[in-house]
Amino acid sequence: MSGGTGVSLPRRSQEAVARPGPRAFAVACVAGLSSALASCVTPAPERMAGPGVTIEEIAAGIEAHIAAESETGGGYFRLQHEGRGLSIELVRVHMEYLSHLGDGVSFACVDLVGTDGPVYNVDFFMKGPPGSMTVTETTVHKVDGNPLYAWAQRRVPRGRSPASRRARRRGRSW
């Protein structure tokens, strides 16, 4: 008897169970190697932002909008903020904040640097399918990291509220 299971195996069978042969080892190695190779050549899936919209498509949409507006603005993206016109250039698109909100609406957040020095964090809302998105709303969210408003933590309807003094001092807002 072996191990208290109530099953009796001949000694040769006990050895075979305890120690797999070279063929089993080779099969396990080939299976492991083919899994590893398959994971190396499989392309990474696109990050989906919503039904039929990827993060990359939203980024392309906002970059195309800023490029087109900059071309007509003499090399600068022009934006009105607090009663004055800003001439700003794209620094980066915040890929981590791009999202599809539903009903064909997408959100993008970008950093643009002004000819006057500060970095402006600007929020854009776009409507339409990938490849033909139209910007419907543009607002300056932060100036040099200091928030001008905070996002409400509810899904629908979305809303902004003035940033608290504490958040403005810390330069935080969602």
Kindly list the domain boundaries of the chain, sorted by start residue: 11-41, 48-170
pLDDT tens per residue, range 62-86: 999 999 999 999 999 999 999 999 9
Best CA proximity match to 131, nearest among 70, 50, 65: 65
Cβ(109)–Cβ(94) under 8 Å? yes
pTM of the model as a whole: 0.62
Mean pLDDT, to the nearest integer, of 46-70?
84
Distance CA 77, CA 83 (A): 16
Give the dihedral sign, CA 145/146/149/154. positive
- % of the chain surpassing 70 pLDDT: 58
At 118, which helix (H) or strand (E)? Answer: none
pLDDT tens per residue, range 4-27: 555 555 555 455 555 556 665 555
> C-alpha distances in angstroms, 41 versus 5, 35, 38, 157?
46, 10, 5, 43
Q: Are strands 99-102 and 105-114 parallel, antiparallel or unpaired?
A: antiparallel
pLDDT at 38: 42
In terms of Cβ atoms closer than 10 Å to its own Cβ (0-12, 13-18, 19+), residue 5 is: exposed
